[in-house]
């Protein structure tokens, strides 16, 4: 998938959109987030440190908005029958994920949920869980931020390799 996005970028947006802006925007997209941004950055030849800074910032930007406004947005969407089924599916998924991690404590659960790069996890879903279940916003923000840093470390090791961390 990452190679397809890189090819699409090179053949369309690459002529006028700097690759740094592209990975920044990719890092803001749900499901792809920082994880996809860092892999794409490596494929585009962006250095490890620069890529991490750009992707971390891109991944962080949507989080406060999700934490503060998603419940109101979802309520509006359900009240007006706008993607009601989709919203209910997201809420059910958040409920399931929360129940799976509740015994671990909210902070540690969120940190690991955001930080361990497996499908269906990440800052967007972690923020959704924190908001829907009214976790303390300050603790949730710190846990999500630390999770993003953990994900950045793990994906950097994977995509840039061990030598990329010291060179």
Q: d(Cα 92, Cα 73) in Å, to the nearest integer?
A: 16
Q: Band of the pLDDT at 99, cuts 50, 70, 90?
A: low
Percentage of the residues of the chain whose pLDDT score is greater than 90? 57
pTM: 0.83
Residue 14: pLDDT over 70: yes
User: Measured at the alpha carbon of residue 48, what is the angle toward residues 128 and 67, in degrees to the nearest 5?
Assistant: 15
- Separation CA 132–CA 126 (nearest Å): 10
Average pLDDT, the chain: 88
Indicate the domain borders of the chain. 2-60+154-166, 62-150
Q: Name the pLDDT band for 44 (thresholds 50, 70, 90).
A: very high
């Amino acid at each position: 998938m990452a190679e397809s996005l890189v090819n699409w970028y090179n053949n369309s947006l690459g002529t006028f959109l700097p690759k740094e802006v592209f990975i920044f925007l990719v890092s803001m997209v749900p499901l792809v987030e920082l994880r996809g941004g860092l892999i794409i950055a490596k494929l585009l030849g962006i250095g490890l440190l620069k890529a991490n800074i750009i992707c971390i910032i891109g991944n962080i930007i949507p989080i406060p908005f999700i934490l503060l406004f998603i419940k109101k947005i979802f309520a509006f969407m359900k009240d007006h029958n706008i993607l009601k089924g989709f919203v209910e599916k997201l809420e059910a998924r958040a409920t399931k994920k929360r129940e799976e991690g509740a015994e671990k404590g909210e902070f540690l659960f969120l940190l690991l949920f955001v930080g361990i790069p497996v499908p269906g996890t990440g800052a967007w879903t972690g923020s959704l869980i924190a908001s829907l279940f009214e976790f303390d916003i300050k603790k949730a923000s710190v846990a999500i931020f630390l999770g993003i840093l953990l994900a950045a470390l793990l994906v950097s090791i994977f995509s840039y390799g061990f030598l990329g961390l010291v060179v």
